[in-house]
Amino acid sequence: MIHNVFFDLDGTLTDPKDGITRCIQFALGRLGREAPPNDELLWCIGPPLRESFSRLLESDDSGLLDMALQYYRERFSEVGIYENSVYPGIPTALQKIYAGGLRVFLATAKPKVFAVRILEHFDLLQFFHGIYGSELDGRLTDKAELVAHILKTEGLNPEVSLIVGDRFHDVMGGKKNGVATAAVMYGYGSREEIEDAGPDFIFHSPSDLAVYLERTVKPVATDDRSPVGGSG
């Protein structure tokens, strides 16, 4: 029985390919480095951005990584944030899940300040009871730490919670906290990556997830159904 659903953002609710890859290319260019083509940067969608820059720059130098993040955010905050699109079926699926009485939370490694703007831009904020993301200083970029933070802050039982994402770290973030895990196949995690992660459930479309929850989940009884209830 599931009462709470945690959603990843990039690769799960929205397709951020153009925005993320172009901003990475911009940052690398500002650092005087040659940037790979867009399609060679798809692995950067999902994991913490600092880790991706560390691999791209082959460096753990904190000053260099801070500069890369600064350049990335310079473009992302104005342009890249809107080079994004909602996956087909997501608004309908979120509406059904929310209307079914489940508590819905965002759990993204993306800074919360950007995540809120994205959900507002696509009119999805209304379907969430809480928005959780990382901080600009790097805190809560680890998905396991983020999930633990949500559970503690909201006072939620992990045994009746489900995390939905498209990458290995989403599944691991749930498993490390005793949360049920679901992986979607339409995002940026390869079949091999997802199978290696071993999620409890695999869904091929947003509607598949919504139908599963409608048919098999009893929502928690609550009178407080207001979205984004001052948390996150």
Residues 102 and 76 in one domain: no
CATH code, domain with 211: 3.40.50.1000
Residue 178 and residue 99 share a domain? yes
Q: What's the per-residue H, E or C state across the chain?
A: CCCEEEECCECCCEECHHHHHHHHHHHHHHCCCCCCCHHHCHHHCCCCHHHHHHHHHCCCCHHHHHHHHHHHHHHHCCCHHHCCEECCCHHHHHHHHHHCCCEEEEEEEEEHHHHHHHHHHCCCHHHCCEEEEECCCCCCCCHHHHHHHHHHHHCCCHHHEEEEECCHHHHHHHHCCCCEEEEECCCCCCHHHHHHHCCCEEECCHHHHHHHHHHHCCCCCCCCCCCCCCCC
Active site residues: 8
Same domain, 110 and 129: yes
pTM for the structure as a whole: 0.89
Render pLDDT for 81-111 as a digit per residue (tens, 0 to 9).
Answer: 999 999 999 999 999 999 999 999 999 999 9
CATH number for the domain spanning 51: value is 1.10.150.240
One digit per residue, pLDDT tens: the chain, 232 residues?
A: 899 999 999 999 999 999 999 999 999 999 999 999 999 999 999 889 999 999 999 999 999 999 999 999 999 999 999 999 999 999 999 999 999 999 999 999 999 999 999 999 999 999 999 999 999 998 999 999 999 999 999 999 999 999 999 999 999 999 999 999 999 999 999 999 999 999 999 999 999 999 998 876 554 444 444 445 434 4
Residues 158 and 75 occupy one common structural domain:
no
Q: What's the pLDDT score for residue 215?
A: 77
Evaluate whether residue 27 is within a structural domain: yes
Tokens of 12: 């799960």
Can you give the residue range of the structural domain that contains 106? 4-15+85-216
Q: Write down the pLDDT at residue 211.
A: 92
11 and 75: one domain? no
